[in-house]
Structure 1
Amino acid sequence: MSVAQPVPTFSVPVDGIPAALHRGESELPFVEFEPGVEMQVLQVDIPTGLWVIRMRLQPGATLPTHRHGGEVFAFTLAGAWKYLEYPEVNTAGSYLYEPAGSIHTLHAPASNTEVTDVWFAIRGPNLNLDAEGKVTLILDAGLVLKVYQSKCKKAGLPRPAVIGA
């Protein structure tokens, strides 16, 4: 007589195959990153410089002008946003690729009727720039994780289970 074997799940390695990792939206809270901008850190890989985040921007929110040290991949889930330096507008369903060295100012138009929700995978540092082009802040996977954990703690939330942290 054979005994039915349990169906393997993605949370348990099978035959030495690494398990897939899952985080539900409610497991990783959104916290205010800047006025009008909330961030959810999904994954970090500090040795390779990868950080994967989700940002929600209120209508009219603008991030500082910045330059990327590596590639950026973005997918818009809701709302609309653009770079002030370019004419294109990213709307729900839009995909954007940014090469390393790209400089821009992310802006959610004040005319938006909903919160803008964007998923980003970023390799390397994000260099915030002042009006003269001088670096004012270097954001990388490690700092983004520290800021996120700190903001969660200040909000009285448990330590978030960010993949890779």
Structure 2
Amino acid sequence: MTEILGPPVGHVHSDDLPWVTAGPVGLQVLRVSPDTWVVRNRFEAGFQLPTHKHTGSVHAYTFAGRWKYAEYGVDYVAGTFIHEPPGSIHTLTITEDSDILFIIEGAFIEFDAEGNISGIVDGESTLAAYYALCDAAGIARPDGILA
């Protein structure tokens, strides 16, 4: 009997993916596909993302630090796994230097202080920013992160 194998499993090792920084945010992109993107962030205490709404689910795991969503009043510490359903609206706030893995489906829509849409972030735009930061730092663009 001949076994038919599916496509090869995509894989990368985090040691092979560079960390880049943009101010108080460290970024490592692990995977980008048309519908899902996986990033690991190292945030400095005091950093805050704009209020935003997710179009898809988000899964996150905290390796180190403490953070919260300003609207919910729950601290997420090292060892915490969270799931955000599609449509979640919140403001990520870093209370201690943190290291967090995010698996994001779809995009998130950023809002300004008046509630107007101020930007859209998705896997494609995140990958473009990651590559630009690699280029600016003189770091070779990594292979294996595109699905």
- After TM superposition, is the score higher than 0.5? yes
- Structure with more contact order per residue of length (Cα contacts < 8 Å, sep ≥ 6): 2
Superposed, 1:56-95 pairs within 5 Å as 56-95=42-81
Say whether the 8 Å CA contact 2:11–2:144 is kept in structure 1.
no
The letter for the 1-side match of 2:99 is D
Say whether the 8 Å CA contact 1:28–1:162 is kept in structure 2.
no
Q: How many residue pairs were aligned?
A: 145
**Deviations for 1:33-87, whole angstroms, at most 9, x for unmatched residues?**
4x211111100112xx211100101111111111111111111111111011111
Unaligned stretches of 5+ residues in structure 1: 1-13
Superposed, 1:55-134 pairs within 5 Å as 55-109=41-95, 112=96, 115-134=97-116
- Deviation (angstroms), 1:162: 4.3
Normalised TM-score (structure 2): 0.91
- Deviation (angstroms), 1:24: 2.1
**Match of residue 161 from structure 1:** 143
- Deviation (angstroms), 1:128: 1.0
Percentage identity across aligned positions? Answer: 41
- Assess, with a 3 A threshold, how the Cα gap between structure 1 residues 162 and 86 changes in structure 2: closer, same or farther: farther
Who wins on radius of gyration, i.e. which is larger? 1
Unaligned stretches of 5+ residues in structure 2: none
2:27 is the alignment partner of 1:39: yes
The 2-side partners of 1:32 and 1:64 are apart by 18
The 2-side partners of 1:60 and 1:80 are apart by 11
The 2-side partners of 1:101 and 1:17 are apart by 33
Normalised TM-score (structure 1): 0.81
How much is the aligned-residue C-alpha RMSD, in angstroms? Answer: 1.6
